[in-house]
Amino acid sequence: MTDLTRRQFAALTAATVAAPLTLVRSPYAAPAVSAGDVVERIRKGIGVDWKAETVDTLKAGDAATAVTGVVTTALASMAILRQAVDAGANMIVTCEPTFYARSDARTPPAGRGGRGGAGAAAPDPPPPPPPADPIYTAKNAYIDKHKLVIFRLSEHWKLRRPEPFAAGLAAALGWTKLLAAGDASRYAISAASLERVAADVKKRLGSRGGIRVVGDPKTEVRSAGLLPGSTPIAAALDLLPGVDLVVAGEVREWESVEYARDVVFSGQRKGLILVGRIVSEEGGMNACASWLSSIVPEVRVRHLPAGDPYWRPA
């Protein structure tokens, strides 16, 4: 001890105190968290009963994989998988299917993707299995090569309160502080024309061609309701009468769009903005990243938006 100067002593003490934190942050010394552990923490911590029948399952990868980082997104597209790998993350938590259908199987759905197409007579004997699909093949190969684990989290995340997709969309729109009702769905926004609000929504959400509007562009709107994801006519019938504007993800055009068209034509000063299902869900998946950070402190969790799939010709 006598050999140590005061400065050396101070440095040593600091190092000793800091050591446990350094160890926790080190990728070499940290206790590995597996993808299965992350799923278990989600199931235990999400705060709603886990359903027996659910789409919220592992879609690819091995649950025993040690997680190096987590990415949340509305859609686990190839571009998102590449961005995750570039960022050093090997677990993806996605709101929507990875393999292009609710069934989310790693091979093309039976009966689709083969030759024949609409209007073709059913061949006899039964058709051979469809040829290998280059998109499925390449996506599977990429997942396997990089040992990615993909978990879908949709139904259960939606059941939390306040509803995270609505709260997340509001945050993306800059409306969080404008909350008007007790839940996350209604907001008192600054009065502006539907045209201006639509342009602002487009800008804030990074929309390209996916945004579509019903209503008179000059209508002044000052209250707004949110319907992220995909919603049936009942949701529009519940919400639109009480607000000037509904911002929705995806609706059936023969339902809520025609309803909104009639509402507007009948003289009610209202509007409907559709931003697309995937775009509408990114806010909720951003919120999901924050929540996952709190239950998986061992690794970095970040949100990567899949972006607006659509463009519109000039």
Partner 1 sequence: MTAGEIVERIKKNLGSPWRDTTYRDTFKFGGAETTVTGIATTVFVSIEVIQRAAAAGLNMIIPHEDTYWNDRDDTTIVSRDPLYAQKVELMRKHDIVVFRIHDHMHSQRPDFTYVGSARDVGLESRYETAPGSHRFVIPETTLESLAGEVKRRTGARALRVVGDPKAKVSRVQLGVGYATPAINVPDVDVVISGEQQEADGGFDSPAYVLDAVTLGVTKGWIMLGHAISEEAGMLEMAAWIKGFVPEVPVQLVKAGEPFWAPK
* From 149, 198, 245, 247, residue interacting with partner 1 (rule: CB under 8 A): 198
* Residue 312 in the binding site for partner 1 (CB under 8 A): yes
* From 12, 23, 110, 138, residue interacting with partner 1 (rule: CB under 8 A): 138
Going residue by residue from 141 to 180, which x/- string records binding to partner 1, judged by CB under 8 A? Answer: -------------x--------------------------
As a whole number of angstroms, the longest Cα–Cα distance in the chain is: 95
CB of 32 to partner 1, least distance (A): 30
Q: Hey, what are 240's tokens?
A: 């639109």
Residue closer to partner 1 by CB (options 47, 131) is: 131
* Continuous segment of H or E residues that includes residue 278: helix 277-295
226-302-78 Cα angle (round to 5): 85
Among the residue ranges 56-64, 158-166, 167-175, 211-219, the one whose residues contact partner 1 (CB under 8 A): 211-219
Residue 130: CB atoms within 10 A of its CB come to 16
Contact 235, 252 (CB under 8 A): no
Count residues binding partner 1 (CB under 8 A): 72
CB of 101 to partner 1, least distance (A): 5
Residue closer to partner 1 by CB (options 71, 201) is: 201
Contacts of partner 1 in 212-271 (CB under 8 A): 212-214, 217, 230, 233-234, 237, 241, 249-250, 252-263, 265-266
Classify 246 as helix, strand or coil: strand
Residue closer to partner 1 by CB (options 56, 163) is: 56
What separation in angstroms does the CA of 220 have from each of 189, 191, 201, 245, 306? 11, 6, 15, 10, 32
Contacts of partner 1 in 2-41 (CB under 8 A): none
* From 17, 21, 118, 122, residue interacting with partner 1 (rule: CB under 8 A): 118
CB of 113 to partner 1, least distance (A): 4
Q: HSE (CB half, 13 Å, CA atoms) of 157?
A: 35
* Residue 122 in the binding site for partner 1 (CB under 8 A): no
Contact 193, 308 (CB under 8 A): no
Residue closer to partner 1 by CB (options 67, 166) is: 166
* Residue 192 in the binding site for partner 1 (CB under 8 A): no
CB of 27 to partner 1, least distance (A): 29
Residue closer to partner 1 by CB (options 66, 172) is: 172
Residue closer to partner 1 by CB (options 5, 266) is: 266
Q: Please state whether beta strands 212-214 and 220-231 pair in parallel, antiparallel, or not at all (unpaired).
A: unpaired
Q: For helices 164-173 and 277-295, what crossing angle results, to 10°?
A: 110
Tell me, what DSSP letter sits at residue 198? Answer: H
Contacts of partner 1 in 54-113 (CB under 8 A): 55, 75, 77-79, 82, 96-97, 100-102, 108-109, 112-113
Residue closer to partner 1 by CB (options 73, 298) is: 73
User: How far is 166 from 157, CA to CA, in rounded Å?
Assistant: 11
Residue closer to partner 1 by CB (options 114, 162) is: 114
Concatenate the DSSP letters of all residues of 160-182 into one string.
SSS-HHHHHHHHHHT-GGGB-SS
| Neighbouring-strand partners of residue 192 | 221
Do you find a cis peptide bond into 162, omega within 30 degrees of 0? yes
